[in-house]
Amino acid sequence: MSVMEGRTTSALLYLDGVHVSFDGFHAINNLSLTLEPGEMRAIIGPNGAGKTTMMDIITGKTKPDEGTVLFDGMIDLTRLDETHIAELGIGRKFQKPTVFESQTIEDNLLLALNVDHSVKGTLFWRGSRDESERIDRVLETIRLTDARNRLAGSLSHGQKQWLEIGMLLAQDPKLLLVDEPVAGMTDVETHQTAELLKEINKEKTVMVVEHDMTFVRELGVKVTCLHEGTVLAEGTIDQVSSNERVIEVYLGR
């Protein structure tokens, strides 16, 4: 690991020796993982492996009992709250799509834009050309332009997933954490989502959790397999899926 001035790692995201337990149950066990700037990483692992919990730790929802979590080599994420971490440029899509159901799709994106988020700023907010253009572009990307004035609650499950990815785009973060983006999508939609994430990855660092192996294969990136809160295997999808321990975990003992 290279030591740079002021920073201990070149990685954008650096987790080392992280432990979390819930009432004595060790959800995350000595987890170490690094993500280089510009990288896209796929995370796989059986149910309950701790994938979502890992994202909770990175985004400040869960505080680890032990371990280091650094963003950009020097920012200790374990000391910050969700709002602060979001402001640093870490965006997140939830496993269960969470959009603001009683508001329009356009308003969902408007809320996600990374502009002034202070009370005063929003109270006296007046839209700008730049903002509406950005919203238009995101709507285009997620193919919801025609539905812009519909309530987000009326969208299908797959469309909600896309809207949430759109919100991530509007947020314009440095690092995107995407939890199970293709759950509930058709094959075509899954393929489109893979294309979209690859497109996003041209500019941003992305971490994707997914169970769908065809999708992971299509992404064609380095894969990390988690099991019982720790890294079981890391490498290309072929390396990981032929790893004996991984097969054992997936097939059950």
The footprint of Mg ion (CB under 5 A) covers 51-52, 95
Identify the bridge partners of residue 110 per DSSP, sorted by sequence position: none
Position among 98, 154, 156, 186 found at the interface with another protein (CB under 8 A): 98
When the beta carbons of 28 and 109 are compared against ligand ATP, the nearer one is: 28
Q: Residue 107 has which token pair? A: 């308003």
Pairing of strands 13-22, 66-71: antiparallel
Check: CB of residue 19 under 8 Å from CB of residue 65. yes
Give least dist CB 164 to Mg ion, A: 15
236 binds, among ligand ATP, another protein, Mg ion, none (CB under 5 to 8 A by kind): none
Angle at which helices 105-112 and 157-171 cross, to 10°? 30
Position among 112, 163, 176, 194 found at the interface with another protein (CB under 8 A): 112
When the beta carbons of 86 and 237 are compared against another protein, the nearer one is: 86
Q: Could you tell me which of 26, 1, 15, 27 has the C-alpha nearest to residue 207?
A: 15
Pairing of strands 13-22, 25-35: antiparallel
Give least dist CB 224 to ligand ATP, A: 12
- Strand-by-strand arrangement of the 75-76 sheet: 25-35, 13-22, 66-71, 75-76
Give least dist CB 118 to another protein, A: 7
Max Cα–Cα distance, the chain, nearest Å: 60
65 binds, among ligand ATP, Mg ion, another protein, none (CB under 5 to 8 A by kind): none
Contact footprint for another protein (CB under 8 A):
59, 61, 81-83, 86-87, 91-92, 94, 98-103, 107, 110-112, 114, 117-119, 122-126, 167, 171
